[in-house]
Amino acid sequence: MGNSFIGQYYLLFPNQYWILENDKIDVSSLLVAGSFGMLVLAVAVIISIVRHQKRMREKQNELQMQKLNHRQQLLEAEIQVTEKEREKIAKNIHDDLSSKLNFINQNIAIIRDNPEDEELVNEMLNNSTELLVTVIEATKGIIYDLMPPALVKLGYLKATVELCSMINATRRLHIECIYDKQNLRFSPKIELQLYRITQEVLNNILKHCKATKLILKIEVQASLMITIFHNGEGITNEKVMFLSQTGNGIGLRSIQSRVNTLNASIRYKDENNEPKLFIEVPDIRKEIINEH
């Protein structure tokens, strides 16, 4: 086969035949060498593909672990916030209710033991009446912490307006609340989460941002959009993520956890000293339970 090929090569390229003749190149060796080179190249390509796929899998696993860790952090933050709320309620019950009810009980015992001492009886009755007034107010406060009455009676939009009025009354922050004037009510679960998110965001701004003016805008279209502008110190998505990953910012993680339960999104911006916050709840219209 080799001689036949060389003969044909000589007939076609007589001037170049001397290369094959002088170097006595074996065509079979060329084919073997070429095949080996192609094999090496193919193996190299396969190895490169396998390594690339391995790196991609490792990166996907790393991203998955980060997501799991983030979810775990959000869950822990929600648990911590829930525990803090329970501790607050327990403290209020102990300090504002239990102790005062105990004093009232003692007053009743004194009245029972001294029914003929009119002056003492009147003193104990007046004291008990004052204590009962404080107990009633404390009970209202605890009920508000558990479920704001305005939220139950009026819904998220009007309860939020009332919340802004309460904050304005403190004179620490002036809030202009712009909202959809429709008398919309959403499902109780949605309204409670929306209210808690709004409440926590405003509390964070009060505590940390040194703001004096704030605009809260609530729009209801296909989605519900909450937009907040203020003149204090802002925060970015990157800083929120950093605080969450370092175990700080329990309030921020609580907000994110509540946002997640609504399948919503939250974005923080701080550009040109104009802090902004955007919360979007998609497909909100399916949660409307009345519309006038």
Distance CA(256)–CA(252), nearest Å, equals 6
Tokens of 128: 């008990």
Domain 148-292 has CATH 3.30.565.10: yes
Tokens of 213: 């003016």
DSSP state at residue 223: S
Distance CA(135)–CA(31), nearest Å, equals 99
Range 5-35 burial, b when 16+ CB lie within 10 A, else e: ebeebeeeeeeeeeebeeeeeeeeeeeeeee
Per-residue pLDDT of the chain (292 residues; tens, 9 = 90+): 445 544 444 444 444 444 444 444 455 666 666 666 677 777 777 887 877 777 777 777 776 766 666 566 655 655 566 666 666 677 777 677 777 888 888 889 999 899 888 899 899 889 988 888 888 888 877 777 777 888 888 899 999 999 999 999 989 999 999 997 777 899 988 998 999 999 999 999 998 899 999 999 999 999 999 999 999 999 988 888 887 777 677 778 888 888 988 999 999 999 888 899 999 999 998 998 876 5
Distance CA(204)–CA(49), nearest Å, equals 49
- Domain chopping of the chain, boundaries: 2-66, 148-292
Helices within 15-98 (DSSP H only): 17-23, 27-92
Scan for tokens 């605080």, then name that residue: 243
Residues contacting residue 189 through CB under 8 Å, at least 6 positions apart: none
